[in-house]
Amino acid sequence: QSALTQPRSVSGSPGQSVTISCTGTSSDVGGYNYVSWYQQHPGKAPKLMVYDVSKRPSGVPDRFSGSKSGNTASLTISGLQAEDEADYYCCSYAGSYTLEVFGGGTKLTVL
Amino acid sequence: QVQLQESGPGLVKPSQTLSLTCTVSGGSISSDDYYWSWIRQPPGKGLEWIGYIYYSGSTYYNPSLESRVTISVGTSKNQFSLRLSSVTAADTAVYFCARRKGYSSSWFDPWGQGTLVTISS
């Protein structure tokens, strides 16, 4: 069982928006502003999409945005495109003992 | 830009030790701003953080794997390595190395392409 809880799947039509949630505890997501999100296409390495809850690396489209409320972080993808179809994983820093925890992953299907 | 590349055997027998190396190019592993990480992904499953190392040799491990994991750094070769002992079929996974930002921020980027390690006799 993964430490952070994500929905197994979400879907949306091109042009629409979808939000993927990532629920943890006050010891990880709720305790630090160190949530990151990764996109993974089949057979490829994960790619950093959002870090420190809401910051975007250079080169990542502004269609991708992150936020957090309490123990739940969210990744919102607006203006869905076919190439957004992938698995998405959240990750949170979880303190000096557990250190890093990932979510179980969410499969995004673009209809 | 910084690139990472994993290398090592693709098949390991049960009870033996899995050994992988990550070679860093385009940047120095001795940077004081980063940790060097191992993350794995069993087939069809999610990501699991294994541990990371600072260039000074300080290590940080997933508590669930700590008794079997050793991560070491070879600054002269710009490499770091993973050893996982007493492996079982449950350790079959794609193993990724990645750079982890340290201090006042937290993210893994870039990642190596990953290498599949199968545990089987």
The nearest CA of chain A is from the CA of B102 a distance in Å of 11
Q: What is the pLDDT of residues A17-37, one digit of tens each?
A: 999 999 999 999 999 999 999
Element (H, E) at B118: strand B115-119
User: Cβ of B47 and A97 within 8 Å?
Assistant: no
Full DSSP string of A43-100: TS--EEEEBTTTB--TTS-TTEEEEEETTEEEEEE-S--GGG-EEEEEEEE-HHHH-E
In chain B, which residues have their Cβ closer than 8 Å to the Cβ of A91? 47, 49, 108
What pLDDT, on a 0 to 100 scale, did the predictor assign at position A33? 96
b/e for B28-57, b at 16 or more Cβ within 10 A?
ebeeeebbbbbbbbeeeebbbbbbbbbbee
User: Cβ of A34 and B106 within 8 Å?
Assistant: yes
User: Cβ of B108 and A48 within 8 Å?
Assistant: yes
Nearest to B40 by CA among B107, B86, B90: B90
In chain A, which residues have their Cβ closer than 8 Å to the Cβ of B112? 45
What pLDDT, on a 0 to 100 scale, did the predictor assign at position A97? 83
Q: What is the pLDDT of residues B30-70, one digit of tens each?
A: 988 999 999 999 999 999 999 999 988 999 999 999 999 99
What pLDDT, on a 0 to 100 scale, did the predictor assign at position A2? 55
